[in-house]
Amino acid sequence: MGCSLAQAYAIAHPDRVSGLVLMAVTTTSRDEVDWITEGVGRIFPEAWNEFDLASGRENGERLVEAYARRLVSTDAEDRWAAAQAWNAWEDVHISLSPGWQPSSGPVDPVRARNFATLVTHYWSHDGFLVGHQSIMNRLDRIAELSAVLIHGRRDVSGPAITPWLLHQQWPASELIIIDEGHGGEIMIEATVDAIARLT
């Protein structure tokens, strides 16, 4: 979501941005949101089944819409159950590092609810970047803006097709694909290096 907001800001105010360094690149398109909430279930079927069953979705409702609805419910217990299920799903697909385990420490309930509510609100509305307002449809506004797009080839949360397609339409961009998942030491090093080069 952060990459989408950075790109949307640059598109809206190109005169205020000197360059972008984006890691784990997304545009919050409906395809991307449906992939992370529905498609990734093909890779993690057991966890996705729990995520789906916990959603409380109604006929025709997308998973993200069900969670967005429940996270603003007047029932505090329902909001907390939805936040826990959403954050558990995030923990499942965020890393492919061998032996990785989600944090077993205490969960801050306010942070968990706020995170899940914010993400599902934006995602259930396609990031408020649809049609002619989508990032892909407005790249011409930042075509000459220097950008480094850094992405993990094994990032199941966001397939590398998104930064690749952006790079094809963004002449001033540089694409760096790293053999990692959603973040990691090598990606962080590449990000620090890219920031140093652009400043």
E strands present in 78-157: 147-152
Q: Which residues, including other chains, have CB under 8 Å from residue 93's CB and lie 6 or more apart?
A: 36, 40, 43, 44, 156, 157, 182
Domain with CATH 3.40.50.1820 in the chain: 2-29+129-198
The whole-number pLDDT of residue 103 equals: 65
The CA-atom distances, in angstroms, between 161 and each of 63, 68, 154, 157 are: 23, 27, 11, 12
* Longest CA pairwise span in the chain (Å): 50
Number of Cβ atoms within 10 Å of the Cβ of 162: 24
Q: Under a CB-based contact definition with an 8 Å cutoff, are residues 180 and 153 in contact?
A: yes
User: Residue 183: which pLDDT band, with cuts at 50, 70 and 90?
Assistant: confident
Task: State the fold for domain 2-29+129-198.
Answer: Rossmann fold (3.40.50)
pLDDT tens-digit profile of 54-98?
A: 999 999 999 999 999 999 999 999 999 999 999 999 988 876 665
